[in-house]
Amino acid sequence: MPAAARGFLFDFDGTLSPIALEASAAQPAPGTADALAALHRVAGAVLIVSARPVSFLRRHFAGLELYGLYGLEHALPDGQVVVDPEAEPWRPVVADTLAAAQAEFAGTGALVEEKGLSLAVHYRAVPQRGEKVRAWAAAQAERTGLWVQDGRMVVELKPPVRLDKGTTVARVVHQLGSAWYVGDDVSDLEAFGALAAERTRRPAFLGVRVAVANPESGGALAQAADFSVESPEDVVKLVTEVATALG
Ligand SMILES: [Mg+2]
């Protein structure tokens, strides 16, 4: 990839998709796939960097390069999936912890999401249980060696591998002349940080940090962003405008 190449990187939940009460029901905002495809035609690279497994992301964004589980999984546009070799041995530990989560939270209103190499407990439907869910996750992390990742009304347990949105984005933007990153959650701060670090390392690099406003985590992100948009629907408009301007 030439150094002048442009990249556009997007989180999924809360960024391209309105937050759904049940995580499995989340859908991209209307027009998202078409807008990203249009951008992909005129820009160098369009990538998704998400907490979701690539098996989920591929249903919506076949043909794009995808980083799932914060980068533990990498799907190339041809469909090939590369799993981080340090994370792979943790699969049985994750499966065991998933079973413990399903037993713990059955009937409580907290929803357990199976992601293969990680698991998430969503408490959006029962926010009053958030503290208990997080305490449970902390205890499981202590017991198993998995790491905790916080999010909007969700806590995750994932393999203790130093791969997050920051390291993943750093790896991608290394090859780019400019990059946009659009996100809505605290884990996206790491991605913003990677853009800033690349600028320090290479002053010719241009990084654009875009926050999607929301009352849960949007404040911290908006402070660190170059600018904010109001919703996933506005991200579609922005992407369409950028694609038109570049085309
Ligand atoms: Mg998000």
Query: What pLDDT is attached to residue 35?
Result: 96
For residue 111, give both structure tokens.
């929803």
For residue 140, report the distance from its CA to the centre of ligand 1, in Å: 24
For residue 227, report the distance from its CA to the centre of ligand 1, in Å: 16
For residue 4, report the distance from its CA to the centre of ligand 1, in Å: 28
User: Is residue 207, in this structure, part of any structural domain at all?
Assistant: yes
For residue 66, report the distance from its CA to the centre of ligand 1, in Å: 15
**β 81-83/73-75 pair status:** antiparallel
- Note whether 153 and 169 are same-domain residues: no
Residue corresponding to tokens 């208990």: 132
Q: Which of 55, 63, 8, 9 is nearest to 33 (CA)?
A: 63
- Note whether 23 and 97 are same-domain residues: no
- Note whether 20 and 65 are same-domain residues: yes
- Note whether 140 and 187 are same-domain residues: no
**Per-residue DSSP letters for 99-122?**
HHHHHHHTTSS-EEEE-SS-EEEE
Q: What SS3 state is found at 20?
A: coil
Separation between Cα atoms, residue 174 and residue 85, nearest integer Å: 22
Q: Which residues, at least 6 apart from 175, have a Cβ–Cβ distance to it below 8 Å? A: 1, 3, 5
For residue 183, report the distance from its CA to the centre of ligand 1, in Å: 6
- Note whether 42 and 130 are same-domain residues: no
For residue 15, report the distance from its CA to the centre of ligand 1, in Å: 6
What Å distances lie between residue 23 and 2, 46, 112, 117, 192, CA to CA?
38, 23, 9, 17, 24
Query: What pLDDT is attached to residue 229?
Result: 96
Q: Is the distance from CB of 156 to CB of 148 less than 8 angstroms?
A: yes
Separation between Cα atoms, residue 172 and residue 93, nearest integer Å: 29
Report the number of distinct structural domains present in the chain: 2
For residue 50, report the distance from its CA to the centre of ligand 1, in Å: 7
Query: What pLDDT is attached to residue 20?
Result: 86
Q: Domain of 139? A: 88-158
For residue 97, report the distance from its CA to the centre of ligand 1, in Å: 23
- Note whether 54 and 174 are same-domain residues: yes
Q: Which of 8, 59, 67, 78 is nearest to 38 (CA)?
A: 8
Query: What pLDDT is attached to residue 222?
Result: 92
User: Is residue 230, in this structure, part of any structural domain at all?
Assistant: yes
User: Is residue 1, in this structure, part of any structural domain at all?
Assistant: no
pTM of this prediction?
Answer: 0.92
Q: Which of 204, 212, 161 is nearest to 188 (CA)?
A: 212
What Å distances lie between residue 190 and 17, 71, 199, 244, CA to CA?
20, 12, 14, 29
Q: Is the distance from CB of 232 to CB of 29 less than 8 angstroms?
A: yes
CATH code of the domain covering residue 49: 3.40.50.1000
**β 119-122/154-158 pair status:** antiparallel
Query: What pLDDT is attached to residue 23?
Result: 83
User: Is residue 216, in this structure, part of any structural domain at all?
Assistant: yes
Residue corresponding to tokens 């059955």: 106
- Note whether 187 and 170 are same-domain residues: yes
For residue 12, report the distance from its CA to the centre of ligand 1, in Å: 5
For residue 9, report the distance from its CA to the centre of ligand 1, in Å: 12
Q: Which of 148, 224, 238 is nearest to 185 (CA)?
A: 224
User: Is residue 44, in this structure, part of any structural domain at all?
Assistant: yes
For residue 211, give both structure tokens.
């926050």
Local mean pLDDT, 10-residue blocks, the chain (247 residues): 79 94 90 95 92 94 92 90 95 98 97 95 96 98 96 94 94 94 94 97 96 84 94 97 94
Query: What pLDDT is attached to residue 77?
Result: 82
For residue 219, report the distance from its CA to the centre of ligand 1, in Å: 14
